[in-house]
Amino acid sequence: MTIKVMLVDDHTMVREALCATLQHDRTLKVVAEAGDGETAARLAQDCQPDVVVMDIALPGQSGIETTRQLLARHPGIKVLALSTYLDRGIVQQMLDIGASGYIAKSAAGIELKQGIHAVSGGRRYVSSEVVAVLADSLQQQPSPPCPGEQRSLSPRETQVAALLAEGKSAHDIAAVLHISPSTVDVHRRNLMRKLGLHKVAELTRYALRVGLILP
């Protein structure tokens, strides 16, 4: 059985290197490549990959938000994160939203192939570097949650939160999400109330901490 793979990374040379690595495994076939989240969403619809190898740092929306959207539209797809970011919050955020695995870009090519096979078979896979990050976090005393942080945001509120944290205005967000500015304001009030926040600066710190945006 051939596993169809889509590569999502904004660096052409990285995608070329990944293709070269994967082509030696006849059970893997790269069916699409994307350099940003919007292209990834379109190609996923057209190519129906089994596994998406997803970078975190993408132009425009992050790999985290791209993963969230892909899994909402195509629940059968498996996402395997491949990133230089080894911050515990970012790793945990990717796994929490449904990514099946997380591999450090410093890992060997054989580990990427093992990860693709693992997640395609319904198993979770994290590279040794990521295991070390998660293990270290378990030994640390967890910090208390911010007021209201335990109340989950809706998918739309999460989108608005990420865009606000990136410094976009209500009119900019309305254009991106195809909703009215007044609806943006409603979502902003609701998410700030849920999170117990009062200023955009506080929201930005929250978004950085949970991985909605990258530093």
* Per-residue model confidence as pLDDT tens digits over 70-101: 999 999 999 999 998 887 778 888 888 899 99
| pLDDT, average across residues 112-141 | 76
- pLDDT of 81 reads 95
From 73, 7, 71, select the one nearest 40 (Cα to Cα): 7
- pLDDT of 59 reads 87
Q: Is the dihedral of CA 55, 211, 131, 52 positive or negative?
A: negative
Whether the pLDDT of residue 204 is over 90: the answer is no
| pLDDT, average across residues 138-144 | 43
* pTM exceeds 0.85: no
| Percent of the chain with pLDDT strictly greater than 90 | 45
Chosen domain end from 138, 165, 199: 138
Which pair of structure tokens corresponds to residue 61?
């929306």
- pLDDT of 134 reads 66
Q: CATH number, domain at 166?
A: 1.10.10.10
Lowest mean pLDDT: which of 41-45, 65-69, 149-153? 149-153
Which one-letter amino acid corresponds to residue 187? H
- pLDDT of 129 reads 79
From 108, 110, 3, select the one nearest 51 (Cα to Cα): 3
111 belongs to a structural domain: yes
Say whether both 176 and 75 belong to one domain. Answer: no
Say whether both 64 and 25 belong to one domain. Answer: yes
Chosen domain end from 138, 172, 191: 138
148 belongs to a structural domain: no
C-alpha radius of gyration, the chain, whole number:
18
CA 208-211-215 angle, 5° bins: 45
Whether the pLDDT of residue 138 is over 60: the answer is no
Whether the pLDDT of residue 32 is over 60: the answer is yes
Say whether both 109 and 175 belong to one domain. Answer: no
Half-sphere exposure of 137 (CA within 13 A, CB side): 15
* 195, containing H or E segment: helix 181-195
Say whether both 57 and 87 belong to one domain. Answer: yes
DSSP string, 131-186: HHHHHHHHTSPPPPPPTTTTSPPPHHHHHHHHHHHTT--HHHHHHHHTS-HHHHHH
Reduced to 3 states (helix: H, G, I; strand: E, B; else coil), residue 126 is strand
11 belongs to a structural domain: yes
| pLDDT, average across residues 58-78 | 91
State the total domains in the chain.
2
pLDDT digits (tens, 9 = 90+) for 157-198: 877 888 888 788 899 888 878 889 999 999 999 989 888 888
Say whether both 14 and 60 belong to one domain. Answer: yes
Say whether both 206 and 163 belong to one domain. Answer: yes
Q: CATH number, domain at 58?
A: 3.40.50.2300
149 belongs to a structural domain: no
Say whether both 89 and 22 belong to one domain. Answer: yes
Distance CA 93, CA 97 (A): 6
Distance CA 134, CA 148 (A): 25
Say whether both 129 and 170 belong to one domain. Answer: no
144 belongs to a structural domain: no
Structural domain of residue 50, as residue ranges? 3-138
Say whether both 22 and 103 belong to one domain. Answer: yes
Residues whose CB is less than 8 angstroms from the CB of residue 158 and which lie 6 or more positions away in sequence, other chains included: 65, 68, 191, 212
Do the Cβ atoms of 86 and 95 come closer than 8 Å? no
Q: Is the dihedral of CA 157, 91, 14, 50 positive or negative?
A: negative
